[in-house]
């Protein structure tokens, strides 16, 4: 028995072809082709005994849609009308610039995008997604610096060209890091300040690679890896590597060897010389829980002024490398 065609949805499409049409009916099992007038469909998929999907070929006017099976072709009159679809028009690109590495998602607005088959950035083809007849999104392919023209192609033709610019990659520059010192174990967060950080691919502390997050073109935060010594900070982007002329110091935790004197008046105010190691990056001196004013004499000596207190308290020191442990006892008289 020959196939029977009951309807086609939609029943009209672009004269340029390319419209996806669902053909409903019966007896489709074993069918091998669909025709729009006398022209074979550009695409044919047998979904079930009652459903076929086909892509309309180019054409004009109103034609009859038929399905051909092993027992013949359908004879029902089921019209499909070709309409003159306008070529797509690009009205705007947002954004209209990208780094040379590409990967930026660009929203293209305009009209006539239904059935789009290609989006090009200059000579390069881009991955894209049609949102509606007036909007699609495209992923910018990588290219060299400079202007290109973006076009959208549909079965009805190719759009007007819209200008788009690949920005020249700039060399990153590091001007500061805060903090500039930290513990040997790493794990602290450092903020790197400079310029040209957009698209950064790597941050290094000496030869060590750090996990990082680009906040802006002028700021990156990095999780400091474990290390030692004083090392240069390098930010790497598609534009190159920073000069490595800003440094970060790994600091051992301070240690107290002795206090001189180890006691003083309860009203405080006297001078106490603290001897030990790792004092260069000291940030605080505590007598018990009370913070004391101090001055760093050298990496092995600090002079502190005890606050008022009573009893025996532990003197501790905090630095970029951590805190002294254990502390040293100081007695208020």
Q: Three-state DSSP class for 199?
A: coil
Partners of 118 in the β-ladder = 153
pLDDT in tens, 174-209: 999 999 999 999 999 999 999 989 889 999 999 999
The predicted structure's pLDDT at residue 198: 84
- Give the Å distances, CA to CA, from 282 to 250, 278, 291: 13, 8, 13
- pLDDT tens digit sequence for 20-65: 899 999 999 999 999 999 999 988 999 999 999 999 998 999 999 9
Nearest to 233 by CA among 196, 199, 203: 203
At residue 324, the pLDDT reads 92
Backbone angles phi, psi at 269, to 5 degrees: 90, -10
What is the tens place of the pLDDT at every residue in 91-137?
999 999 988 878 889 999 999 898 788 999 999 999 999 998 899 99
Q: Which residues lie closer than 8 Å to 214 by C-beta, 6 or more apart?
A: 197, 198, 199, 200, 220
* Tens-digit pLDDT profile for residues 205-260: 999 999 999 999 899 999 999 999 999 999 998 788 999 999 999 999 999 999 99
Q: Cα(59)–Cα(38) distance, rounded to whole angstroms?
A: 10
CATH topology of domain 89-167: Immunoglobulin-like (2.60.40)
Asked whether the predicted pLDDT for residue 79 surpasses 90, the reply is: yes
Burial class from Cβ neighbours inside 10 Å (0-12, 13-18, 19+) for residue 97 reads: middle
**C-alpha distance from residue 203 to each of 168, 189, 212, 226, 250 (Å):** 21, 13, 7, 14, 17
Say what the pLDDT of residue 179 is.
94
Do the domains 4-83 and 89-167 sit in the same CATH topology, yes or no?
yes
> What confidence score (pLDDT) does residue 116 get?
87
Residue 80, pLDDT above cutoff 80:
yes
CATH says 255-332 is which class?
A: mainly beta
* Residue 18 confidence (pLDDT): 81
Report whether 330 contacts 287 (CB < 8 A).
yes
Domain 173-251 belongs to what topology?
A: Immunoglobulin-like (2.60.40)
What residue spans define the domains of the chain?
A: 4-83, 89-167, 173-251, 255-332
Q: What is the DSSP string of 99-118?
A: ETT---EEEEEEE--TT--E
Say how far apart CA 304 and CA 286 lie, in whole Å.
9
Instruction: Give me the pLDDT at residue 115, please.
Output: 79
Query: How much is the pTM?
Result: 0.53
Tokens for 133?
């007849």
- The vertex-269 CA angle with 268 and 270, nearest 5°, equals 95
Res 326 pLDDT > 90: no
Reply yes or no: is the peptide bond before residue 95 cis, omega within 30 of 0: yes
**What pLDDT shows up at residue 136?**
96
CA distance 119 to 116: 8
- Strand order through the sheet with 51-55: 4-9, 20-26, 51-55, 43-48
160 band by pLDDT with thresholds 50, 70 and 90:
very high
What CATH number should be reported for the domain whose range is 4-83?
2.60.40.10
């Amino acid at each position: 028995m020959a196939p029977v065609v009951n309807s086609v949805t939609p029943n009209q499409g672009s004269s340029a072809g390319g419209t996806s049409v669902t053909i409903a009916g019966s007896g489709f099992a074993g069918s091998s082709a669909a025709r729009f007038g006398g022209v074979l469909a550009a695409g044919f998929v047998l979904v079930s005994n009652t459903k076929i999907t086909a892509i309309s070929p180019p054409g004009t006017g109103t034609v009859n849609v038929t399905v051909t099976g092993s027992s013949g072709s359908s004879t029902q009159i089921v019209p499909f009308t070709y309409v003159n679809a306008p070529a797509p028009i690009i009205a705007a690109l947002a954004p209209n610039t990208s780094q040379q590495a590409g990967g930026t998602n660009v929203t293209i607005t305009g009209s006539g995008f239904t059935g789009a088959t290609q989006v090009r950035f200059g000579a390069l083809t881009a991955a894209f997604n049609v949102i509606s007849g007036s909007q699609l999104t495209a992923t910018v392919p990588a290219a060299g610096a400079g202007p290109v023209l973006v076009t959208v192609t549909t079965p009805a033709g190719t759009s007007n060209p819209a200008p788009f610019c690949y920005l020249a990659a700039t060399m990153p520059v590091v001007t500061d890091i805060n903090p500039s010192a930290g513990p040997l174990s790493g794990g602290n967060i450092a903020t790197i300040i400079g310029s040209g950080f957009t698209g950064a691919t790597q941050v290094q502390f000496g030869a060590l690679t750090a996990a990082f997050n680009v906040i802006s073109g002028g700021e990156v935060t990095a999780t400091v890896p474990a290390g030692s010594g004083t090392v240069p900070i390098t930010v790497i982007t598609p534009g190159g590597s920073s000069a490595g002329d800003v440094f970060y110091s790994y600091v051992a935790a301070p240690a107290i060897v002795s206090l001189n004197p180890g006691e003083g008046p309860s009203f405080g105010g006297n001078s106490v010389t603290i001897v030990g190691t790792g004092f260069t990056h000291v940030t605080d001196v505590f007598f018990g829980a009370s913070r004391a004013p101090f001055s760093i004499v050298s990496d092995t000596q600090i002079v502190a002024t005890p606050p008022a207190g009573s009893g025996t308290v532990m003197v501790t020191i905090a630095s970029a490398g951590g805190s002294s442990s254990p502390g040293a006892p100081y007695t208020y008289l």
